[in-house]
Amino acid sequence: MDIKNSKEIIAGFVERYNFSHIFTDSGLPLGKEAAPLRLSAGEAVEFLLSSALTGSKVIGFFDRLPAVSVKRSLRGECIFVSRRLPEKIDVPTLFCRRSGDIASYLVLALKTAADCKLPVSVVISDDALNNYADPVKTVCDLARTSPYLHPDTFKNLFDGASFASCAAVAESAFSSALGSGETEGGVLSFSDNDLPFFPYLLPGILPENAENLKGKTIKIPAGEALAVVSMLNNSYALAVSPESAGEEKWPETADFLCPGCPFVNIFARIRDKEAVFFTDIECEGALNFFPLNRVSIESYMGLLSESLNVKTVFIGRASGYKPCYDGLLKNGRVIFLNDCGLSGINICASVKHPKKITGEKNALFPYGCGNIKSYSKVRINPKKCRCIKDGVPPACAEAVKCPAIYVKNDVAAIDGNMCTGCLACKTACPFGAIS
């Protein structure tokens, strides 16, 4: 599984398409490492639009996109990415609610921006932004536009007809790629993937499937009702009355680890508080969450050359193993993550499934961080799931930090598309609700 977190997916997109200017505000720290512009959000919008006007390819990351006033057609591509619903639809806007769609939505936005000569906005939900996915490979070959400034560049202002013509180009691209979506049923939610929402909106163009919402009472989760009602009213004078559908509670995702994370499985089943753990894996999440000391395997073997008064465990890449280390392991224990498809290592017992990683033996784990395997999916019995009903966070999510586990309607559930079947959550559940 080539699973990446959402930040890695976005960073890969930014790197691949070679943007001239990148802005990121504190509310959405993405692309920050590349080239942050130290401007306010409003100043950044003006800067990016001016740069795109001369042919530069630009992207901005915002907590909530401020008002955008587009006065001229753009020569370069301009993309705005945000995490909160806008107060008004000023530019063609896509709504991304699944992490697996992030790459394709960004590419669609980039291509549409090139075709319609307008900036395109992509609003990504919190669930999608703080999650993992196996990103779909996307291709978008855009010829680079050389920066160009002419005395007449700032003279040709948009009139209503020319702006509408450009917006119609965007609508054609969006509807061809995404369809019109489904908003019937009297329910709307941007944050809940199981409920309907607009796949896209355009300035001044009320979607046909939104006509049925006029003047009606719509169920909207309490946490987003104000934003949805304000956006529809400000953009289309579409008056809807919200009827709270209840606040969906999603676990905090900032500290989530990869589905099937080897460290989760190992620490779920090895509870030796006296041991000191070492690793040569550079995963920031694992290093922050588990009691790991970052050393190379050579350094670890150097430690074992001395007589130590404490038990040690090294969790590292099997590709770094050398037979000459065998004689040194009398004083320590190793768990090699099989990142290179080895059939076995002489000093290690080969583990066929993560749940088998028990005891005090050296072990060859069935996979590594870059080649996580999938086994039979697991499920949660809602009748036995007690944590949230007892007013505490779900023990399984807290222990394994797996993004496949989420909370809906006061019951923990598992996303079958993301679950790897490693059973670490089953080990952590105190009520036997997971099977």
pLDDT tens per residue, range 135-192: 666 666 565 556 666 666 666 777 778 898 999 999 999 989 988 776 666 788 888 8
Q: Which two tokens stand for residue 386?
A: 């007690």
Please determine, for residue 116, whether its predicted confidence score (pLDDT) is greater than 60.
Answer: yes
Domain boundary among 144, 178, 212: 178
Higher-scoring residue by pLDDT: 236, 245: 236
Q: Confirm whether 396 is domain-assigned.
A: no
* Residue 22 main-chain phi, psi, to 5 deg: -130, 125
Q: Confirm whether 384 is domain-assigned.
A: no
Q: Confirm whether 72 is domain-assigned.
A: yes
Please determine, for residue 73, whether its predicted confidence score (pLDDT) is greater than 70.
Answer: yes
Which of 324-333, 355-364, 369-378 is the least confident region? Answer: 324-333
Please determine, for residue 324, whether its predicted confidence score (pLDDT) is greater than 60.
Answer: yes
- Which residues touch 339 (CB under 8 Å, ≥6 apart)? 317, 318, 319, 367, 368, 369, 370, 371
Pair 21, 149 in one domain:
yes
Pair 14, 141 in one domain:
yes
184, with CB counted inside 10 A (0-12, 13-18, 19+), is exposed
Please determine, for residue 79, whether its predicted confidence score (pLDDT) is greater than 90.
Answer: yes
Higher-scoring residue by pLDDT: 258, 208: 258
pLDDT at residue 202, as a whole number? 92
Domain boundary among 178, 205, 235: 178
Q: Confirm whether 332 is domain-assigned.
A: yes
Q: Confirm whether 46 is domain-assigned.
A: yes
Pair 171, 275 in one domain:
no
Pair 129, 278 in one domain:
no
- Per-residue confidence band for 358, with pLDDT thresholds at 50, 70 and 90: confident
- Per-residue confidence band for 432, with pLDDT thresholds at 50, 70 and 90: confident
Q: Confirm whether 232 is domain-assigned.
A: no
Contact 159, 33 (CB under 8 A): no
pLDDT digits (tens, 9 = 90+) for 279-299: 999 888 888 888 888 888 888
pLDDT at residue 105, as a whole number? 95
Q: Confirm whether 324 is domain-assigned.
A: yes
Measured between alpha carbons, how far is 174 from 179 in angstroms, rounded to an integer?
Answer: 7
Judging by DSSP bridges, how do beta strands 93-96 and 200-201 pair with one another?
antiparallel
- Which residue, chain included where needed, has tokens 């009472």? 217
pLDDT at residue 170, as a whole number? 93
Residue 351 carries which DSSP code? Answer: P
Q: How many domains does the chain have?
A: 2
Contact 192, 160 (CB under 8 A): no
Domain boundary among 152, 178, 204: 178
Pair 39, 136 in one domain:
yes
Which CATH number covers residue 147?
3.40.50
pLDDT at residue 29, as a whole number? 57
110, with CB counted inside 10 A (0-12, 13-18, 19+), is buried
Q: What angle do CA 243, 247, 252 make, to 5 degrees?
A: 160
Strand, coil or helix: 24: strand
Residue-averaged pLDDT of the chain: 82
Model pTM above 0.85: no
Domain range for residue 36? 4-178
Strand, coil or helix: 334: strand
Pair 148, 272 in one domain:
no
Measured between alpha carbons, how far is 88 from 110 in angstroms, rounded to an integer?
Answer: 21
Measured between alpha carbons, how far is 113 from 62 in angstroms, rounded to an integer?
Answer: 18
Please determine, for residue 81, whether its predicted confidence score (pLDDT) is greater than 90.
Answer: yes
Buried b (16+ CB within 10 A) or exposed e, 345-377: bebbeebeebbebeeeebbbbbbbbeebeebee
Q: Confirm whether 246 is domain-assigned.
A: no
